[in-house]
Amino acid sequence: MSRSKILVKAIEAVVLVFLCFFIFGPMLALVLWSVAMKWFWPHVLPQEIGLDYWAQALGLQKSLAIGAVSITDAFQTSIVIAVLVVVLAMLIAVPAGYVLAKYRIPFRGAILFLFLMPQAFPQQPVFVNLLFSFNKIGLTSTIHGVVLIHLMVSLVFAVWISSAAFKGIPPELEEAARSVGASRLRAFFQITLPLAAPGLLASAVFVFLTSLDEFTGTFFIGLPFISTLPMLLYSSSGYNLQFASVIAIVLLIPSILFMVIIERFLKAEYIGGVGV
Amino acid sequence: MPGLHLVGLLKRFGKTTAVNKVNLEIEDGEIMTLLGPSGCGKTTTLRCIAGFLIPDEGEIYLGDQSMTDLPPEKRGIGFVFQNYALWPHMTVFDNLSFGLRLRRVPRSKIKSRVDETLALVRLSGFAERYPRQLSGGQQQRIALARALVIQPRVLLLDEPLSNLDAQLREEMRFEIRELQKNLGITAVYVTHDQAEALVLSDRIAVMNNGIITQIGTPEQIYNQPNNRFVAGFIGLSSFVDGIVTGLDTARAYATVTTSDEVAIRVPAGSMALNQEVTLAIRPEHITLISDTSAEVPPDANLLEGEVIRIAYLGDVIDYRIQVGGWTLRVHTDTDTHLRPKDKVQLMIPAERINLISPDL
Ligand SMILES: Nc1ncnc2c1ncn2[C@@H]1O[C@H](COP(=O)(O)OP(=O)(O)OP(=O)(O)O)[C@@H](O)[C@H]1O
Ligand SMILES: [Mg+2]
């Protein structure tokens, strides 16, 4: 091995160690905190470990810390909201992305700008304003209201990603289908859509994770009745680090799961041919 | 199978007129090539025929049936794309059977039709492969097979060979023509490669700037170009401008005098005295004579010139020769050994000179 190669390897190793430290270090701390029954300074490791907080969080054991709100309830709320947001976002983002990618539609800039609007201002004033208007039509503290807020936050990216997914597919593929007898609709569903699927899935995952993590909007519109995982995390993190750690880990699980699914899917047989 | 008929086809993109009032009649079972430089509107014409584009003006007929308002899926036209456009998520079998399933061909028949068509393009046994597991040439054949398997009324091909290497390209020219003749299918072939067009066409329509400038058999296009563009685009031509100064109707020759007073004898055609004309002369139709005693046919022109540039092209030597105020390109076999500044005599048989109107 030449000297420069050794140097490269050494740098790689250092970078890797640092990465591990930054990614897995905090995760390890989270895991430790979630099982720490007793952990006082200056001890490096918890003095006493146990699954009490997990049991409490999952409602298996009566919780002293938070009382009425269990993680399972919040988890359920979070998932229901996230799924609804994904379905609605994709119902809009798939056709919108397709049209934006394929046609030179008039006012294209204006339309993209419209999607971008909610992102263009500081979030808090926007949400406070929405709180007033949502209040008038009775959307505050409802699932619908929170779903709408999450949709607003994630839609521009959903449309953007799916438009990119459609742009990557040569229009000739659809034309070839037309010429052998497929209607516009069939060509879309049997040729373009399957080929765009990985990109659309990425878009859906992005929306799902955004919704799962969303805090500010949910805080203004959802409270006091809608409590999602990030709400719970926030309200418990001040005085109960163990409980907060449990929630944080629960929040991580869907993300990691989705990463695995995406990885699987992006490696699927036919993706290699996309863009030919 | 009926012929294809374009009437006054016009297509604009914003301010550019990509196809400008094109009229074209392609006969039943004929293979017609649209030949022209990049951007002249070949693809646009083809896409209008296929129905991917809606023309701004004009009509497209297949036999007596107007197709102008039919969507692509109702036209029964096969299209072979330059980039093949095979569906990457389907096997070769699925690529071919897609159109058959849409036509509700029974399952058992689908299999045999696909097999037959694969045999036709000599790729039997490739049915289970994915497009990316095929070479460029094989993908090209599958694209052809996919267009043919639905038994289209017309086959359209848009530069189908341009992504192949030179040798395969040459082979495929014959193969495509043979296939087209065996099936008796009406075909329109688009290319900017003149050799390809000359080899595989029944007739060639030469396009420039959205206009068809000449239609004819490969021989007509090559030997009797009727305008400057065709003469320069297909094969090489040198051009000389002049005025008709003498007519010898008895022997059907005319004399054209150039601005520097060189008189050239040409076939009279339908020329009038004092008419301005342009002469187009092919490099291979000019003979260099260094020996003045060489035998010269009575109708031939003899001109004096001086070598100004020499290019060795392998099979021929390409000379540029100054004659008066203009230059002629001359191709000779590689036995001649002239050098720049050498004086030469050129012999051009009168009937080898093409007359074209100077304005085109
Ligand atoms: N979708 C489009 N939008 C705008 N202009 C277009 C479009 N398609 C073609 N054009 C223009 O129309 C003209 C003809 O294009 P076309 O693709 O028919 O040329 P072509 O003869 O096929 O050229 P090539 O040999 O390069 O493929 C060109 O000037 C081109 O820029
Ligand atoms: Mg083209």
- Read off the CATH number of the domain in which A134 is found: 1.10.3720.10
Residue whose CA is at the smallest distance from ligand 1 atom 18: B41
Q: Is A176 exposed, middle or buried (0-12, 13-18, 19+ CB in 10 A)?
A: buried
Contact list, B131 vs chain A (CB under 8 Å): 273, 276
A-B contacts at Cβ under 8 angstroms = 82
Distance CA A252, CA A230 (A): 11
**Ramachandran angles phi, psi of A35, nearest 5°:** -115, 5
- Mean pLDDT in chain A? 81
Q: What pLDDT does residue A69 have?
A: 62
Structural domain includes residue A62: no
Mean pLDDT to the nearest integer, B165-194: 91
pLDDT band for B52, please (50, 70, 90 cuts).
Answer: very high
List the single range of A221-235, B173-187, B343-357 with lowest mean pLDDT: A221-235
A261 within domain boundaries: yes
Question: Taking residues B241-248, what's their average pLDDT?
Answer: 85
Is A111 exposed, middle or buried (CB count within 10 Å of its CB: 0-12, 13-18, 19+)? middle
Q: Is B239 helix (H, G, I), strand (E, B) or coil?
A: strand
**pLDDT digit string (tens) for A70-118?**
777 888 889 999 999 999 999 999 999 999 888 877 777 777 777 777 7
Put simply, the answer to whether B146 touches A176 (Cβ < 8 Å) is yes
Least confident window among A66-80, A216-230, B99-113, B147-161: A66-80
Residues of chain B contacting A181 with CB distance shorter than 8 Å: 73, 99, 102-103, 150
* Chain segment B307-348, per-residue pLDDT in tens: 999 998 888 899 999 998 889 999 988 887 888 888 888 999
| pLDDT tens string B296-309 | 777 788 888 899 99
**DSSP string of A150-161, one letter each residue:** HHHHHHHHHHHH
Q: Residue A271: which pLDDT band, with cuts at 50, 70 and 90? A: very low
Selected for mutation to probe chain A from B43, B73, B84 (highest A CB count within 10 Å) is B73
Percent of chain B with pLDDT over 70: 97
Instruction: Looking at the structure, tell me whether residues A110 and A9 fall in a common domain.
Output: no
Query: A78 and A25 share a domain?
Result: no
A266 contacts on B by Cβ (under 8 Å) = none
DSSP B284-351: GG-EEES-TTS---TTEEEEEEEEEEEEE-SSSEEEEEEETTEEEEEEE-TT----TT-EEEEEEEGG
Report the pLDDT value the prediction gives residue A273, as an integer from 0 to 100: 39
Residue B6's Cβ-side half-sphere holds a number of Cα atoms within 13 Å equal to 26
Residue A8 lies in a domain: yes
Nearest-CA residue for ligand 1 atom 28 is B39
Mean pLDDT across chain B, nearest whole number? 90
Q: Does A173 touch chain B (CB under 8 A)?
A: yes
Verify that A40 and A81 share a domain, yes or no. Answer: no
A40 and A104 both lie in a single domain: no
pLDDT given for residue A105 in this prediction: 76
Alpha helices in chain B (DSSP H): 42-50, 92-102, 107-120, 136-149, 166-183, 194-200, 218-223, 228-233
Which residue's entry shows tokens 């890797």? A16
Q: Both A120 and A257 in a single domain?
A: yes
Q: Is residue B160 within 8 angstroms of chain A, CB to CB?
A: no
pLDDT at A269: 40
**What amino acid occupies position B171?**
E
Give the predicted TM-score (pTM) of the model. 0.82
Residue pLDDT, tens place only, A168-180: 899 999 999 999 9
Is A207 among the domain residues? Answer: yes
Atom 11 (ligand 1) nearest CA: B18
Q: B13: which residues sit within 8 A by CB, 6+ positions away? A: none
Which of B75, B83, B89, B129 would you mutate first to test chain A, the one with the most A CBs within 10 A? Answer: B89
How many CB atoms within 10 Å of residue B230? 27
Same domain assignment for residues A99 and A12: no
pLDDT at residue number A238: 66
What is the value of ipTM here, to two decimals?
0.84
Angle CA B132–B133–B134, to nearest 5: 90
Superfamily (CATH H level) for B238-356: Nucleic acid-binding proteins (2.40.50.140)
Give residues with Cβ within 8 angstroms of B325, minimum separation 6: B258, B259, B260
| Domain of residue A97, residue span | 72-271
Dihedral in degrees, nearest 10, Cα atoms A241, A243, A246, A247: -100
Same domain membership, residue A206 and residue A146: yes
pLDDT band at A270 (very low <50, low <70, confident <90, very high): very low
A186: chain B residues, CB-CB within 8 Å: 102
pLDDT tens digits along A5-32: 888 888 888 888 888 778 777 788 888 8
Q: Give the residue-averaged pLDDT of B132-139.
A: 92
pLDDT at A144 over 60: yes
Q: What is the pLDDT of residue B359?
A: 57
* A108 shares a domain with A19: no
Alpha carbon of B290 to those of B296, B339, B356: distances in Å? 12, 12, 30
Q: Are residues A267 and A136 in the same domain?
A: yes
pLDDT value at A66 more than 60: no
Is residue B7's pLDDT more than 70?
Answer: yes
Structure tokens at B269: 């055609």
Amino acid B157: pLDDT: 95
Establish if A65 belongs to a structural domain. Answer: no
Domain contains A110 = yes
Number of domains in chain A: 2
Domain boundaries, chain B: 4-233, 238-356
Q: What is the pLDDT of residue A102?
A: 86
- Tell which CATH classification among 3.60.150.10, 3.30.1330.40, 3.40.50.300, 2.40.128.120 matches the domain B4-233: 3.40.50.300
**Which ligand has the shortest distance to the CA of B38?**
1
Tell the residue nearest (CA) to atom 17 of ligand 1: B43
Q: Give the span between the Cα atoms of B206 and B354, in whole angstroms.
A: 17
Query: Is there a single domain that holds both residue A92 and residue A192?
Result: yes
- The answer on A146 and A251 residing in a single domain is yes
Lowest-confidence region among A114-128, A141-155, B226-240: A114-128
- A102 with A171: CB under 8 angstroms? yes
pLDDT-based confidence at A205, cuts 50/70/90?
Answer: confident
Q: Which residue has the higher pLDDT, B41 or A117?
A: B41
Instruction: Indicate if the pLDDT at residue A150 is higher than 60.
Output: yes
In this prediction, residue B321 carries a pLDDT of 92
B128 touches chain A (CB under 8 A): no
- pLDDT value, residue A117: 73
Task: Please give the order of strands across the beta sheet that includes B154-158.
Answer: B77-80, B154-158, B186-191, B31-35, B203-208, B211-216
pLDDT at A229 over 90: no
Identify whether A55 is part of a domain: no
Ligand 2 is an ion; its neighbours by CB within 5 Å are: B 43
Out of A217-231, A247-261, B141-155, the most confident range is B141-155
Residues 240-269 (A) with a CB less than 8 A from some CB of B: 269
pLDDT at res. B34:
96
What distance in Å separates residue A273's CA from the closest CA in chain B?
Answer: 5
Task: Quote the minimal CA–CA distance from B89 to chain A in Å.
Answer: 5
Q: Which strands, in side-by-side order, build the sheet including B57-62?
A: B16-26, B4-13, B57-62, B65-66
| Domain match, A219 and A126 both | yes
In ligand 1, the atom with minimum distance to the C-alpha of B190 is 22
Most confident of A253-262, B235-244, B250-259, B287-296: B235-244
Ligand nearest to the CA of residue B47, numbered in listed order: 1
Nearest to B343 by CA among B291, B283, B297: B291
Query: Which of residues 83 through 112 in chain B touch A, CB cutoff 8 A?
Result: 83-89, 98-99, 102-103
Mean pLDDT throughout B250-278?
83
Distance CA(A141)–CA(A144), nearest Å, equals 9
Q: For residue range A243-258, what is the model confidence (pLDDT) as tens digits?
A: 788 888 888 888 788 7
Rounded CA separation B239/B233 (Å): 12
> What stretch of H or E contains B244?
strand B238-248
The whole-number average pLDDT for the span B279-295 is 80
**Ligand 1 neighbours (beta carbon < 6 A):** B 13, 16, 18, 36, 38-44, 192
Residue A48 has pLDDT above 90, yes or no: no
**By the CB < 8 Å criterion, does A108 face chain B?**
no
* pLDDT of B51 higher than 90: yes
Report yes or no on A232 lying in a domain.
yes
Sequence-distant (≥ 6) Cβ neighbours of residue B334 within 8 angstroms: B312, B315, B316, B317
* Residue from the list A175, A182, A273 with its beta carbon closest to the beta carbon of B130: A273
Give chain B's largest Cα–Cα span. Answer: 78
